[in-house]
Amino acid sequence: MLAVVVVALVVAAFGVGAYYFLPRAPKEIDSVAVLPLANATSSADPDYLADGITEGVINHLSRLSRLRSCGCDWPHISAPGIPLKEV
């Protein structure tokens, strides 16, 4: 009887140890937010290119059936002088 209890405790200890210490598969990503790209040049001419790339990324991600994509088209995000942490 004592041997059965000891074996049960050892098996339970291994199970708890495996649960806490073995690596687990990462959670699946089911949504993504796409922030607009910023124009890093001093010229305002390539703004349309940054907007087009952002829209293209959003459109391509929205075609994936298992992924929800959210495009954020906020003009104040791409405004210079606003730190990304404040967004």
> What local confidence, expressed as pLDDT, does residue 87 receive?
53
Neighbouring residues of 20: CB distance < 8 A, sequence distance ≥ 6: none
Question: 1-13, pLDDT tens digit by residue?
Answer: 778 788 888 888 8
Question: 56-87, pLDDT tens digit by residue?
Answer: 888 888 888 888 777 665 544 555 566 655 55
Considering the domain boundaries, does residue 34 fall inside one?
no
Provide the 3-class DSSP secondary structure of residue 43: coil
Considering the domain boundaries, does residue 39 fall inside one?
no
Provide the 3-class DSSP secondary structure of residue 18: helix
Considering the domain boundaries, does residue 35 fall inside one?
no
What domain count does the chain have? Answer: 1
Considering the domain boundaries, does residue 29 fall inside one?
no
Q: Domain range spanning residue 62?
A: 47-87
Question: 21-42, pLDDT tens digit by residue?
Answer: 887 777 787 888 777 777 777 7
pTM for the whole structure:
0.49
Considering the domain boundaries, does residue 80 fall inside one?
yes
